[in-house]
Structure 1
Amino acid sequence: MSWLLQGDVAIQYQTHRDLLDADRPDLRARIAREGWGKQLLDQRNPDGSWGLDFYRPKWTSSHYTLLSLKGLAIAPDQPIIRESIARILAGYKAVDGGIGCSRGDRKSDVCVNGMVLNYASYFGAPADDLCSIVDFLLCEHMKDGGFNCQSNRSGAHHSSLHSTLSVLEGIHEYARNGYRYRLDELQTAARRSREFILLHRFYKSDRTGDIISKRFLMFPYPPRWYYNILRALDHFQTAGAPYDARMQDALDSVADKCGKDGLWRREAAVPGKVFLVMEAPRGPSRWNTLMALRVLKAYGNAA
């Protein structure tokens, strides 16, 4: 715990909030003025964007920078962030009602729109600006309970854990911030989506029991759009989902990654240009240690 409290102010704030059950608004206010939060805000262009466009280049785009700022738990009442989101919601609406990756897109991406709903809800976007995104996501909800970013493109017969988790995080943030439009339908979709993840025991085939992808057991930070079991378990505990025996394999896998020093490592980074490297790859990770501890706090004694 003392090691976490020596980290960036965003880590300090979330450690107090999530592990020590102490509200520290003074720490939260500092996230915009120092450390990782300030570094990301300082990269904002004069026109309110980051990078070259809403979705270019990948990790330095407005989209992923806003997602990172939300992940830091920066105070949501940031006027410049709200202005940037307003420009995105006004300028990148696709024909299908979602947010397109480029201006004038006819089709939008399910996974991207789950992430947009996540940070736009967190930063208090006007409810009317989110309605068409909600409509789009509910239209793409699949029969097996989850979501797949190919459902409105090449077609899909089975949901994707990547897309399902991104949409789940968006629905949770939407509900937590008091939005009401089609909320009952969204919460029903969220329950079915969590059941989809549980059916797969977080990382296994529901038919064979084999590991779907070894990447699901790796913990880079930030994860971007990529699914992994720690990110998924962190969503479940944030959403207040009760313990389910089908979590246990994933919980055991997370616990097994704890080193003898009580810390979790950061594994290989998602490749691509970035504004800052928060933690050295393969070294001790405050982010992963923080997330693992809050997951184990919620579920570690439940089995």
Structure 2
Amino acid sequence: MSVDRPLIDWLLDSDPAIRWQVLRDIVGAPEREWQAERCKVEREGWGAELLACQDADGQWAGGAFVPAGYTEDMWRTAGQPWTATCFSLQQLYDFGLDPACERAQRTVALIGFNSKWDHDGQPFWDGEVEECINARTVTAGAYFGVDVSPIVKRLLGERQPDGGWNCERCNGSHRSSFHTTINVLEALLAYESAKGQTPETRAARAAGEDYLLKRELYKRLETGQPADERYLKLLYPPRWRYDVLRGLDYFRLASLAGGTPPDARLRTPIAHLRARQALNGTWPLDWQLTGPVWFKMEEVGKPSRWITLRALRVLRWWDAAGVDTRQPQS
């Protein structure tokens, strides 16, 4: 799809974390240009602000998953906190902090030495027991050059009979969830990008992808109705949450990584995404998760540069393949 210059200018009038991705994915700028912009993430804007919040021991807020001293009463009153190490690393990954830079490498080493999971004191890069948490640890670890193979092996053994994953497995669940499945799929793809694909990871991804595709990314298999109306709302940052744009962006990345065309079963969520675009070419931020954050980047109800960037690159990928003319796959 073509993108009008005023819309590109609006996207570029933003933080380096967004600008470098616009230059790479929308403008098609030379690598030297978008890499130069990407380097600014460490020194300017949101990336620099988040790094300035880091503790001397490499953690954020003194904890792996929950800030130090954050009580159950605080959780009930203020909501789930998003300031601890797990979520801060996830955000730096989204920002595109150069994993080879000295600050990133020092952070990885310090976290490995100092950060322990709240569950049972496990070292951070060993993971813990919950699939969503372990998946995000794999995504960050693979990106920043950590060997997270043992966590991947664990995730591969925790797949549900219907093809996906569910972090309530330890509480007896035998059905997959959209939330956990997208977290694990992103993690396996990030691991393959760093270490290479194995028959086990490819088979697991194929099963998880099929779980989502059978449901057209948001529907109940039994009724064809939305499994959760919020899956059709646009959210950023997603943290552990699922929405259709997150699902579509995963399938875009998987398609590009594997050199495979888009699956025609994505036609319905693609149509939904198109329908949400405003006349000025932007997409809105529909909602955000509650709970303490280091800083807010965008306002609910307003046009969102994060969501517009992600939506535009999904549609460019889809339109380039011309999938709308194909018959749905069985």
Q: TM-score, normalised by structure 1?
A: 0.91
Indicate the residue corresponding to 1:39 in structure 2.
Answer: 49
Q: CA deviation at 1:298?
A: 1.0
- 1:26-65 equivalences in 2 (<5 Å): 26-57=36-67, 58-65=81-88
- Kindly provide the CA deviation profile for residues 99-137 of structure 1, in whole angstroms up to 9, marking residues without a partner as x: 764515996110111111101101111x3xx12201211
CA offsets 1:62-98 (integer angstroms, 9 cap, x no match)? 00000000001111113333343345456667xxxxx
User: CA 1:29–1:263 in 2, change beyond 3 Å: closer, same or farther?
Assistant: same
**1:165 to 2:182 alignment:** yes
Q: Is the 8 A contact 2:57 2:111 kept in 1?
A: no
Query: What secondary structure sits across from 1:134 in the alignment?
Result: helix
> What amino acid is the match of 1:124?
G
Summarize the Cα distance change of 1:163–1:100 in structure 2 as closer, same or farther, 3 Å threshold. farther
- CA offset at residue 2 of structure 1? 1.4
Supply the distance in 2 between the matched residues of 1:108 and 1:206 (Cα, whole angstroms). 28
Amino acid at match of 2:311: A
Identity of aligned residues (%): 33
Equivalent-residue separation in structure 2 for 1:134 and 1:255 (angstroms): 35
Q: Which string of whole-angstrom CA distances, capped at 9 and with x for unpartnered residues, describes residues 175-207 of structure 1?
A: 112x15x83211210111111110111000111
Q: 1:14 aligns with which of 7, 18, 21?
A: 21
Larger helix share, 1 or 2: 2
1:150-199: CA deviation from partner (whole Å, max 9, x where unpaired): 12x1121211110110011111111112x15x832112101111111101
Confirm or deny that 1:4 pairs with 2:11. yes
Task: Tell me which residue corresponds to 2:150.
Answer: 132
Q: What's 2:268 paired with?
A: 249
Any gaps of 5 or more consecutive residues in structure 2?
Answer: 1-7, 68-80, 325-330
Deviation at 1:244, TM superposition (A): 2.0
State the number of aligned residues.
Answer: 292
Q: Which residue of 2 aligns with 1:189?
A: 204
Q: Per-residue CA shift, 1:11-56, capped at 9, x if unaligned?
A: 1100111112222211011111000110111100011100130001
Residues 184-235 of structure 1 show CA distances to partners (whole Å, capped at 9, x for unaligned) of 2112101111111101110001111011001101112101000000011001
In 1, the alpha carbon distance for the partners of 2:112 and 2:229 equals: 36
Q: Bigger CA drift: 197-206 or 293-302?
A: 293-302
Decide whether the 8 Å contact of 1:92 with 1:100 is kept in 2: no
Question: Root-mean-square deviation (CA), in Å?
Answer: 2.0
Contact 1:92 1:102 in 2 (8 A): no
Structure 1 stretch 240-249 or stretch 203-212: which is displaced more? 240-249
Contact between 2:264 and 2:323, CA under 8 Å: does it hold in 1? no
Indicate which of 119, 136, 141 corresponds to 1:120.
Answer: 141
| Match of residue 146 from structure 1 | 164
Q: Look up the SS of the partner of 1:270 in the other structure.
A: coil
In the alignment, is the contact (CA less than 8 A) between 1:101 and 1:109 conserved in 2?
no
Q: Which runs of 4+ in 1 moved over 4 A?
A: 87-93, 99-102, 104-107
In 2, Cα distance between equivalents of 1:190 and 1:278: 32
> Unaligned regions of 5+ residues in structure 1, if any?
94-98
Alpha-carbon contact 1:145-1:193 (below 8 Å) kept: yes
1:72 partner amino acid: F
Aligned counterpart, 1:79: 102
Q: Equivalents in 1 of 2:250, 2:114: separation in Å?
A: 30
* Contact persistence 1:171–1:190 (CA under 8 A): yes
- 1:260 matched to which residue of 2? 279
User: What is the aligned partner in structure 2 of residue 70 from structure 1?
Assistant: 93
Structure 2 residue 127 is the aligned partner of structure 1 residue 109: no
Q: Is the 8 A contact 2:98 2:104 kept in 1?
A: no
Is the counterpart of residue 291 in structure 1 residue 310 in structure 2?
yes
Alpha carbons of structure 1 residues 271 and 165: separation in structure 2 relative to 1, 3 Å? same
Q: Cα distance 1:298–1:101, how it changes in 2: closer, same or farther (>3 A)?
A: farther
